Amino acid sequence: MNSKQWFERAQKVIPGGVNSPVRAFNGVGGTPVYFKSGKGATVQTEDGTELIDFCGSWGPLILGHAREEIVEVVAKTAADGLTFGANTAQETQFAELLNTLVPSIEMSRLVSSGTEAVMTAIRLARGYTGRRKILKFEGCYHGHSDYLLVASGSGLLTGGISSSAGVSPSATEEVFVAPYNDLAAVQEILKANGDEIAAVIVEPMAGNMGLVKPVAGFLEGLRAATADSGTLLIFDEVINGFRLGPTTYGNLTGITPDLTTLGKIIGGGMPIGALGGSTKIMSHLAPLGPVYQAGTLSGNPVAVAAGMKTLELLRDENPYPKMEALGKRLADGIHRLATEKDLDLHCAQYGGMFTPFFRTAPVHNLDDSKACDQKAHARYFHHMLDAGFYTPPSGFEVAFVSAAHTQADIDGFIQAFENL
Ligand SMILES: *Cc1c(COP(=O)(O)O)cnc(C)c1O
């Protein structure tokens, strides 16, 4: 059976045929590709084709598919027991490693997804401050919990909906929304309502409306304004933690949030999430404090082993300069061609992250991202797919260069782009 046949069969028993909406290709049209196996930068499909993968499972696979050391440690750990629901030594070692790599994370709690990490961080912020409201940014995605499905990014943009049915208005009423990179708007909201706002949550390098960098002074300004109003600052680093260096983006920039949420890379391909911060704040979590959180599979030994090995490899091998160089080569190549062919396009890139935005002007917020030509993105996506390159099937996502990509992969990508 090929992808088309599998997709037809899936639609009868899985809503939309997918277990996560963006996989349905609604943003680009056509039939979703069924993956069979992956190794390094390449995947094999049910159609018998081989693709160079720039999606990397939406972020976790910074070391490429089925990296040998990770597969080995997963197999070995699994053989010793898949789950205990009791403590293991490696959970402590993992928390110690996080603390070493991200000093502001004095204590951390493991959960099973990014959504769960953020949901818990919000509850903790409310419990800690005794305040009800939160502030988020348009186009930032923080998982699919109720409070955070207001003006969200990622799959919610592709679906053409800015929020979700089934979310109680009482949840969203407690959420202020500001445009990304608009510090003045945040300062105004905090000035008027700061004493009701438990937390400001932000993707310090936004990755769910395409790649949008923080403008100079934005994160510093958030830090100062939240400190003034006694509001916690949460950096949601589920997508960019350990992406740009063997630490968080907050730590790289020297801006210390009160809480950090992590996921994706820190599980090495297994389901995981984490939240962390100072001992003072984290001590409000159960069983030490009154903010409840629990999980049958939290700190799962196989996920912890895969994550630990991934972080160790990233620390020891430091593939970041290579990914940065390849990312820059790719973006430079695309810009050269866009100029030559007079395309309305701008490729945002930072380290190994990139998004070709189909408009020339840089993208600073959700309105800019929405102003891009989605039809042109869909044409680009299918053209690249036909040429053997898999990129995220949505114009509101980030593509990733992993440590497993080679210069030949990048040059092949640019060459394929040339015929667009
Ligand atoms: C992916 C993502 C999440 C949600 O993580 P899941 O593991 O998909 O639940 C939350 N925040 C950000 C910034 C993300 O990129």
Q: Can you give 40-70 as a three-state secondary structure string?
A: ECEEEECCCCEEEECCHHHCCCCCCECCHHH
- Give the distance (Å) from ligand 1 centre to CA of residue 201: 13
Give how far the C-alpha of residue 104 lies from the chain's centroid of Cα atoms, to the nearest Å. Answer: 20
Q: Whose CA is nearest to atom 5 of ligand 1?
A: 114
CATH class of the region 68-316 = alpha beta
27-52 residue pLDDT tens: 999 999 999 999 999 999 999 999 99
Q: Candidates 19, 22, 141: which one to mutate for ligand 1, based on the most atoms within 8 Å of Cβ?
A: 141
Please tell me the residue having the least CA distance from ligand 1 atom 11. Answer: 142
> What's the Cα-to-Cα distance from 391 to each of 26, 277, 308, rounded to whole Å?
14, 34, 27
Contact in structure between 398 and 352 (CB atoms under 8 Å): no
Is residue 188 left, alpha or beta, with left meaning phi > 0 and alpha meaning psi from -120 to 50? alpha
pLDDT, one tens digit per residue, over 202-235 is 999 999 999 999 999 999 999 999 999 999 999 9
Q: Which residues contact 255 (CB under 8 A, 6 or more apart)?
A: 204, 219, 220, 223
Percent share of the chain, pLDDT over 90: 92
Index of the ligand 1 atom closest to the CA of residue 239: 15
pLDDT at 165: 85
Identify which of 237, 238, 272 to mutate to test ligand 1's pocket (most ligand atoms within 8 A of the CB).
238
Query: Could you tell me if 175 and 149 are in contact, meaning their C-beta atoms sit under 8 angstroms apart?
Result: no
In whole numbers, what is the pLDDT of the chain averaged over residues? 95
Which of 203, 239, 400 to mutate for ligand 1's pocket (most ligand atoms within 8 Å of CB)? 239
The residue-averaged pLDDT of 315-323 equals 98
Domain positions in the chain: 3-62+319-418, 68-316
Helices (H), 242-388: 249-253, 279-282, 301-317, 320-341, 366-370, 374-386
pLDDT bin (cut points 50, 70, 90) of residue 157 is low
Ligand 1, atom 8: closest residue by C-alpha: 114
CA of 287 to the centre of ligand 1 (A): 26
Give percent of the chain above pLDDT 70.
97
Residues 6+ apart with CB under 8 A from 309: 69, 70, 73, 268
Q: With 50 as the cut, is the pLDDT of residue 372 above it?
A: yes
* Whether residue 134 has pLDDT greater than 80: yes
Distances (CA, A) of 371 to 199, 375, 398: 29, 12, 17
Question: Which CATH class for the 3-62+319-418 domain?
Answer: alpha beta
Residue ranges lining ligand 1, Cβ < 6 Å: 113-115, 118, 141-143, 203, 207-208, 236, 238-239, 263, 273
Q: State mean pLDDT over 359-382.
A: 96
Using pLDDT thresholds of 50, 70 and 90, give the confidence band for residue 271: very high
58 CA to centre of ligand 1 in angstroms:
9
Q: What distance in angstroms lies between residue 118's CA and the mean position of ligand 1's atoms?
A: 8
Q: How far is ligand 1, taken at its centre, from the CA of residue 401, in Å?
A: 19
Question: What pLDDT, on a 0 to 100 scale, did the predictor assign at position 166?
Answer: 84
- Ligand 1 centroid to Cα of residue 109, in Å, is 16
Split at pLDDT 50, 70, 90, the class of 162 is very low
Pair type for strands 353-357 and 346-350? antiparallel
Average pLDDT on 384-399 reads 97
pLDDT of residue 21: 93
Q: For residue 56, which of 276, 201, 207 has the smallest C-alpha distance?
A: 207
Among candidate residues 327, 291, 270, the one with its CA nearest the CA of residue 109: 291
**Which residue carries 């290709």 as its tokens?**
25
Q: What pLDDT, in 10s, does the model give residues 71-112?
A: 999 999 999 999 999 999 999 999 999 999 999 999 999 999
- Rounded-to-10 torsion of CA 386, 389, 393, 394: -110
φ/ψ (deg, to 5) at 173? -60, -20
Whether residue 169 has pLDDT greater than 90: no
- DSSP 8-state assignment for residue 146: G
pLDDT at 159 over 60: no
- Asked if 331 and 211 count as a contact pair (C-beta separation under 8 A), the reply is no
At residue 246, the pLDDT reads 98
Within 8 A by CB and 6+ apart from 135, the residues are: 175, 176, 177, 178, 186, 189, 190, 197, 199, 200, 201, 231
- Taking the CA of residue 207 as reference, the ligand 1 atom at the shortest distance is 15
Known catalytic residues are 141, 236, 264
Nearest CA, atom 6, ligand 1: 114
